[in-house]
Amino acid sequence: MAGYIPVSETAVFWENTFFSLASALYILAMLFYLTHFSSKKQFGRFAAIVLRLAFLTHSVFLILRTINVQRVPFVGPYEFGNTFIWATALVYLWTEWRLKEKYYAVGAFLTPMIALYIAYLTVVPRLIPIVRISRAHQQLRPVLQSPWLKIHVSASVLGYAGFTLAFATAIMWLVKNKAGEKSALGQALPHKNTLEEYMYRAAAFGFLFQSIMIITGAIWADTSWGSYWRWDPKEMWALITWFVYAVYLHARFTQGWTGLRTVALVMVGWVAMVFTWVGVAWLLTGIHSFA
């Protein structure tokens, strides 16, 4: 059984303060992105600045958490969730920097996803008794004291970040399709072909890192438990998620699939990803229960 790491009240205060500040800035950035998207006012660049401030503030939180737990903050729902949110912001900001203000509209759909993930860490545990997300500073269990932890979890959060961006773009496609190309809402969004390409690249990015996560997890399992695969619920749902996106990428690349059926596959893949992250943790038990 892992023990707890003694942390001063001052250290805990600053850690919680930077988490709360980062959360507030993420939500503020969401409001500015939505305002830019809905009113056509030039809030996009300001929203991007606020999102960068949120990302930097969140980075400080993760640094403080690393110092306080004396390891990488990758273990448990609270630490993994924060790292996942941070990675999601990083991946989006990188694409926004490359594509410039042309894709500020994506921020109006991506930042609500970040707000949803923050709500899972903060609001949901107060509403649903089964969801217990502890901020305690725990020591690593022996099985987690491995160099594979950094590689495995890093790949996982980057894969989830790519899938989140793909899902946000899929929602944009649906909105565009429903509104029509000539409507005011439709004209505020990029062309559907452009959105499909953006969705494809985000999904391919997520699929790459999901593959790395599964492979490194298998190697780590073999070194820890003597077998590459143990039919654990987390392993199975990670594989299901991987399979859904594999079908999507294969269908698009080799069969030329486009339109609603590819959007549907991306959305199903995101649901499988969320269940792998959230559902398995609280509804199923297995060798990943410690995480």
Given this model, what pLDDT does residue 291 score? 47
Given this model, what pLDDT does residue 272 score? 96
Q: Are 130 and 276 in contact (CB under 8 A)?
A: no
Sign of CA dihedral 261, 267, 270, 272: negative
Q: Are 172 and 189 in contact (CB under 8 A)?
A: yes
- Which phi and psi (to 5°) does residue 117 adopt? -65, -40
Q: Are 261 and 50 in contact (CB under 8 A)?
A: no
- Which phi and psi (to 5°) does residue 4 adopt? -110, 145
How far is CA 215 from each of CA 152, 156, 221, 240, 265, rounded to the nearest angstrom? 8, 11, 10, 14, 23
Q: Are 57 and 19 in contact (CB under 8 A)?
A: no
**What token pair was written down for 84?**
């996942």
Which run of H or E residues covers position 138? none
Which run of H or E residues covers position 7? none
Given this model, what pLDDT does residue 40 score? 61
Local structure of residue 146 (DSSP, 8 states): S
Chain-centre distance for alpha carbon 12: 25
Taking the chain (291 residues) in consecutive chunks of 10 residues, what is each chunk's mean pLDDT? Answer: 83 96 97 83 84 98 96 92 97 86 81 96 91 89 84 96 97 90 80 91 97 93 77 89 96 87 96 93 65 47
Residues in the chain: 291
pTM: predicted TM-score of the whole model, two decimal places? 0.92
Given this model, what pLDDT does residue 286 score? 56
Query: Which segments of the chain does DSSP mark as H helices, in order?
Result: 9-39, 44-69, 76-99, 104-122, 124-127, 148-179, 184-188, 192-225, 233-254, 260-274, 280-283
Q: Which SS3 state, helix, strand or coil, does residue 284 take?
A: coil
Q: Which of 260, 259, 264, 230 is nearest to 244 (CA)?
A: 264
How far is CA 225 from each of CA 222, 239, 289, rounded to the nearest angstrom? 5, 19, 15
